[in-house]
Structure 1
């Protein structure tokens, strides 16, 4: 049985920095959900790199894509916030990424774009500016991503609220005081899976042709 090919583009949040094992990052959790529900193997290509901006993704991750995937997720922008990228630069980079993915001509619902989580509430947020300013930039970039995603016919999932929901839990933030812990990655996967389950299951278990 041919595996479902799932391409996960992004930065540390896609790698799962802060998780106790790679299998606990959100793409691996989604792949596990899909494989468990469909009985079809899922092959994940995850070229994400810690610290990457959207421009870094364009230069390093996109050239690694050699096969047309069945499913795609894109979560990028936290490091653009940290490095002070302006709205136009971020929008332009996203358009380049989204245009690249759009060339796969995947059906609606098969390309997932994920909001930047709200890292203004983590213990080390002050290292990157005032929490209020960080949250404002994150919200602005997420609005840009949502608009560009809609324009490309992609499925945008906002995880901002869930990323804030467990602050104070010992397993919510990793030991570095910045990245998510296992519980937060699992919560993201729950929210994302509920949004994409129907569309992604159609990929893994297509209807038999009517004779």
Structure 2
């Protein structure tokens, strides 16, 4: 079932919606080790009374599947902070940049609506590079990197046009090429150590939403 309810800070002053795929739910790590939960915790440490995220995400989702899940979730609330991280499965399945651009643009617009039509309250994270993980050792890693870069260039352009913040966590994801402690036990996704770093990178943009 989705969306996943916010807890334990459900009565906090501010609310947070996290949209995405396996990276948002932290495939192969505990809930507390998701980057979204780290981010909420850091915001609270900065004096922002925010709940843990309501999460609409699932491993394997493309942009189209996330949008369909959002429609099926019947979410009607608005949120003070909305984050979006989506696109790796579009790349993995060989979908076109043109399709991604159209569907990603729609998702950004959806995220802005969830943020009470305040684009500055939406933070988009770049697609990490799964090509550096052990799972990709028998694949063309240079091709994966080039394609991830191309998808991220589209996302960055669309975020700029929409007036939402784009945070580039892709360089950090590539640390896993030299340090497998950044990789989860499934050898494909990332570990809590990596998600912790993504939260730190994202924190300034999230704090700015609340004037911090």
Q: TM-score range by the shorter chain?
A: 0.7 to 0.9
SS in 2 for 1:38: coil
Deviations 1:99-135 (A, max 9, x none): 22233444453100100001111111146x4111111
Deviations 1:53-74 (A, max 9, x none): 0000010134422201111100
Across the aligned residues of Structure 1 and Structure 2, the Cα RMSD in angstroms comes to 1.8
Cα 1:27–1:178 shift into 2, 3 Å: same
**Structure 1 unaligned regions, length at least 5:** 206-211
SS in 2 for 1:46: strand
1:17/1:179 contact within 8 Å kept:
yes
| Structure 2 counterpart of 1:50, from 59, 66, 70 | 59
- Higher-Rg structure is 1
User: For 1:183 and 1:2, how far apart are their aligned partners in 2?
Assistant: 27
Residues 35-184 of structure 1: matches in 2 within 5 Å? 35-38=44-47, 40-64=49-73, 65-103=75-113, 104-126=115-137, 129-184=139-194
Deviations 1:88-107 (A, max 9, x none): 11011111111222334444
1:143 CA drift (Å): 0.3
TM-score by length of 1: 0.88
1:28 CA drift (Å): 0.7
Deviations 1:128-176 (A, max 9, x none): x411111111000000000000100000001111111243334210111
Residues 181-192 of structure 1: matches in 2 within 5 Å? 181-192=191-202
User: For 1:3 and 1:172, how far apart are their aligned partners in 2?
Assistant: 33
TM-score by length of 2: 0.87
1:109/1:196 contact within 8 Å kept:
no
User: For 2:87 and 2:12, how far apart are their aligned partners in 1?
Assistant: 33
1:34 corresponds to which residue? 43
